[in-house]
């Protein structure tokens, strides 16, 4: 079984991006810039943002974090986004989720210029992805896609099963696999026989949030299995896939932690650079 090493893949991607940033700097005398807006003091968000900032600086991006207290008014945040939309030194804008209840998440997402939407959550980018046009792609499914392609470069005609239909993971993952000519089944909490659906998959991507939901006897021999889940349990952090069982049947499997997770931030940096390159073209 191939243990898909997300840490190594992410380090390789960051190295490629670092070289690309240095080329861009020579060509345009400017580096891509990522600005993150962080509202409140939720510990996980603070940690994510710190890691994003550290990685951005490592690959040579200009990185800024704008911090607001929990009590910030929605109009202040929208005003700041408008300002960043117009700022040529900012290639990508990310508003760290979740937001305090009094701030309308959708309004905030839609305020970001789609050309700077490095999370790929703006409806324009969602539409472009599903239409097969160029767009920012949500970072976690993009990371999964890159890991799958490393194992199997030609996905033509493969059967893929995506477990979970969230806007963040399941839906964009489905679009990426469709684009690669997979036959995709998207499953969710109301799916009648999840085991039978999973058994059809040459590729399974699980993004559910239920510890070890996907069992060994749900997986076809030699399937590629990507585990997006991050679940805190008594035995520590586990994924949505029963690792010990599934590793006995799968051809390749991502561990949790150390699989999909590290790719997410690397893909955020990639999206920032891609936004910069598109802005230079236009
Ligand atoms: P979500 O809660 O938004 O969506 C979960 C999906 O799972 C829903 O579509 C729901 O229909 C489906 N589902 C729920 N119960 C099910 C069941 N019994 N059978 C089949 N489907 C079921 O979750 P999300 O934001 O997509 O996150 C999913 C998991 O991925 C979480 O554990 C989250 O922590 C993790 N995550 C990891 C990363 C990363 O970088 N690795 C990034 C984002 C999310």
Q: Note the pLDDT tens digit of each residue in 22-41.
A: 999 999 999 999 999 999 99
**Residue 265: predicted pLDDT:** 95
Tell me how far the alpha carbon of residue 174 lies from the centroid of ligand 1, in angstroms.
14
Known catalytic residue: 96? yes
Instruction: Give the C-alpha separation, 240 to 231, whole Å.
Output: 8
Instruction: Give the C-alpha separation, 122 to 95, whole Å.
Output: 12
Pocket test for ligand 1, best of 9, 169, 258, 262 (most atoms within 8 A of CB): 169
What are φ and ψ of residue 159, in 5° steps?
-90, 125
Q: Which of 52, 80, 158, 220 is catalytic?
A: 52
Residue 101's Cβ-count burial label (10 Å; 0-12, 13-18, 19+) is exposed
Per-residue pLDDT of 88-116, as tens digits, reads 999 999 999 999 999 999 999 999 999 99
Domains, the chain, with CATH or none: 28-113 (3.40.50.10860), 139-261 (3.40.50.720)
Instruction: Give the C-alpha separation, 125 to 131, whole Å.
Output: 10
Per-residue pLDDT of 114-172, as tens digits, reads 999 999 999 999 999 999 999 999 999 999 999 999 999 999 999 999 999 999 999 99
Tell me how far the alpha carbon of residue 207 lies from the centroid of ligand 1, in angstroms.
4
Beta bridge partners of 159: 183
Q: Whose CA is nearest to atom 18 of ligand 1?
A: 189
The mean per-residue pLDDT over the stretch 83-89 comes to: 98
Q: Return the closest-CA partner of residue 206 out of 155, 149, 161.
A: 161
With cut-offs at 50, 70 and 90, classify the pLDDT of residue 264. Answer: very high
Ligand 1 binding pocket (C-beta < 6 A) is 140, 163-166, 168-170, 187-189, 191, 194, 207-210, 228-231, 260-261, 264
What are φ and ψ of residue 78, in 5° steps?
-65, -40
Q: Whose CA is nearest to atom 35 of ligand 1?
A: 229
Tell me how far the alpha carbon of residue 117 lies from the centroid of ligand 1, in angstroms.
22
Give the rounded percent of residues in the chain with a pLDDT score beyond 70.
100
**Residue 118: predicted pLDDT:** 98
Tell me how far the alpha carbon of residue 217 lies from the centroid of ligand 1, in angstroms.
21
**Residue 226: predicted pLDDT:** 99
Q: Which of 113, 117, 119, 240 is catalytic?
A: 119
Q: Which of 80, 96, 116, 220 is catalytic?
A: 96
Tell me how far the alpha carbon of residue 162 lies from the centroid of ligand 1, in angstroms.
11
**Residue 282: predicted pLDDT:** 77
């Amino acid at each position: 079984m191939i243990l898909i090493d997300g840490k190594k893949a992410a380090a390789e991607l960051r190295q490629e991006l670092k070289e690309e940033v240095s080329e861009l700097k020579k060509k345009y005398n400017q580096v891509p810039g990522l600005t993150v807006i962080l509202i409140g003091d939720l510990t996980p968000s603070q940690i994510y943002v710190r890691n994003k900032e550290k990685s951005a600086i490592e690959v040579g991006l200009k990185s800024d974090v704008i911090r607001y207290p929990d009590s910030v008014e929605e109009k202040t945040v929208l005003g700041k986004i408008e300002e960043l939309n117009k700022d040529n030194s900012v290639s990508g804008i990310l508003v760290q989720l979740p937001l305090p209840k009094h701030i309308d998440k959708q309004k905030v997402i839609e305020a970001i210029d789609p050309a700077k939407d490095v999370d790929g959550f703006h409806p324009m980018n969602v539409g472009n992805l599903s239409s097969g046009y160029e767009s920012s792609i949500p970072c976690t499914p993009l990371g999964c896609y890159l890991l799958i392609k490393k194992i199997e470069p030609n996905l033509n005609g493969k059967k893929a099963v995506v477990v979970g239909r969230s806007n963040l993971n399941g839906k964009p993952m489905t679009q990426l696999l469709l684009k690669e000519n997979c036959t995709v089944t998207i499953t969710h909490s109301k799916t009648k026989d999840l085991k039978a659906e999973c058994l059809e998959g040459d590729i399974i991507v699980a993004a559910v949030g239920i510890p070890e939901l996907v069992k060994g006897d749900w997986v076809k021999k030699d399937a590629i299995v990507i585990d997006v889940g991050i679940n805190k349990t008594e035995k520590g952090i586990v994924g949505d896939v029963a690792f010990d069982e599934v590793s006995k049947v799968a051809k390749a499997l991502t561990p949790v932690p150390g699989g999909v997770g590290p790719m997410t931030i690397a893909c955020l940096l990639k999206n920032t650079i891609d936004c910069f390159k598109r802005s230079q073209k236009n």
